[in-house]
Structure 1
């Protein structure tokens, strides 16, 4: 058993090393132009090592970004949410936590991930972790609105697509404002967009 753990640890270390080498390489080469040969040379390994795990560079890059963004997709920050006493306060807290996680991971990593997702026109390579994250975020929004109702606040009945609005909005904000989003900006997003959409 101990031997198996050691082997796995070496495998994880190797994978992390390949990810780091590829990320460093992408500082010089656009993701769309990167090749397995370039990655293999930088990692001092062979292309066959890469091909055994990833059919294309798209698959490798998506794995890298998914791995880097794991904490965001797992939604651990949602467990830190507290009832602020108002839908407005809950929304501000929600966006603040999400943005903190976004910045911790890095806007470049996440923006590149979503760029890759856009290249998958038929959506047949979406990672399972991404699908699970969408479901988790929708449930979190439903819970947030249910709490507002239980406090006596009137909320609208909306579609699942609308429930994803806070997350879609944050992603767009980070695409056009990669240098971070101020607290004032988050508050205006809540007051001018989210509350009019969700409050009856």
Structure 2
């Protein structure tokens, strides 16, 4: 895939790369999010693309249109993920817009969207492992209603069910004392996290 366009601004920075808002002219015109990392440090992004392929067409998961390599004059070769752009920012941005909590009348619908995304992830044998408001993105309504559409993003830490990995205790939002240990991935972590997140949507 060859993508041509202009970087407009930085949308975010993380451990595995930088996300830019890009206005493209090829292979199609429009606004997209492009997540990039130096080619020598791109293993996580290339693995993320392989995971994204499993979720093509899932309505509550951010869609990835491909991975490609580019050359930047000031930085060498980069690996990039070509993602749909969330014009509404993240769920955390939406919460802050309402003073830290979502109106109670909307919490049920937003929780349903997140849960439907998690069902798609679990049905394909994966655990997200990093579910938090910053990794849930806000899109315009896809049903014609006034309510935004939420989609789960960022699969950099996603793992297959049953996979062994190193992890940290209480690693979501409020980790204070962390210990490194080996755990076998299961869906209990996300079940706990979704309960905490839904509570936080309105009561924090």
TM-score, normalised to structure 2's length? 0.29
Q: Which has the higher contact order (CA 8 A, sep 6+)?
A: 1
Larger radius of gyration: 1
Considering fraction of residues, name the structure with more strand. Answer: 2
TM-score, normalised to structure 1's length? 0.30
